[in-house]
Amino acid sequence: MLDLMPRQRPVARTADSEKITINLGCVDLGHVDLLVAEGVYGNRTDFIRTAIRREIDRHAEITRQSVARKKVELGLRSIDRAELEEARATGRALDIRVLGLVSIAPDVTPDLAREAIASLEVLGSLQASPAVRAALADRLR
């Protein structure tokens, strides 16, 4: 049989979420499972996401004040080779603070990262090659 359907190539994309592991007591887990069984939530993950978002909303003012006080960028911060080369050329190492996702381009070398980044604080997720992560290990907070 001849397959005439065009094949789609997988699209590479940046992860928009990160997997975490939590430990719950049996009773708490039972409550979650009961709410799922009753149709209040589609699954355990939906319950946990909803609970986390509620707590984030509940403490939004604390977050807002902290972000303003600490001069933290919100959201996605992409760091490319050109930005780091410019920082190195001007002699001003970068202090980067982000609440969200920091993505360091795959063509950034460990040496360039060390020379151009003075400190890196990520409240969320860091996407970088293992070599760049290792080169910045003493600068990560």
Q: Which two tokens stand for residue 109?
A: 């070398």
For all residues of the chain together, what is the average pLDDT? 89
Q: 15 or 112: which carries more pLDDT confidence?
A: 112
Provide CB contacts within 8 A for 68, sequence distance 6+. none
What pLDDT digit, counting tens, does each position of 105-123 carry?
999 999 999 999 999 999 9
Q: What number is the average pLDDT over the span 57-62?
A: 94
| Secondary structure of 25-90 in HEC code, one letter for each residue | CHHHHHHHHHHHHCCCCCCHHHHHHHHHHHHHHHCHHHHHHHHHHHCCEEEEEEECHHHHHHHHHH
pLDDT at 64: 87
Q: Using 50, 70 and 90 to split pLDDT, how confident is the model at 15?
A: low
Q: E strand or H helix at 117, and its extent?
A: strand 117-127
> Rounded to an integer, what distance in angstroms lies between the CA atom of residue 62 and that of residue 70?
12
SS3 120: strand
Q: Does position 10 have pLDDT exceeding 50, yes or no?
A: no
pLDDT at 70: 80
Q: What number is the average pLDDT over the span 64-78?
A: 88
Least confident of 27-31, 45-49, 67-71, 117-121: 67-71
Q: Does position 126 have pLDDT exceeding 50, yes or no?
A: yes
Q: What number is the average pLDDT over the span 76-92?
A: 96
Q: Does position 4 have pLDDT exceeding 70, yes or no?
A: no
Q: Using 50, 70 and 90 to split pLDDT, how confident is the model at 5?
A: very low
pLDDT at 117: 97
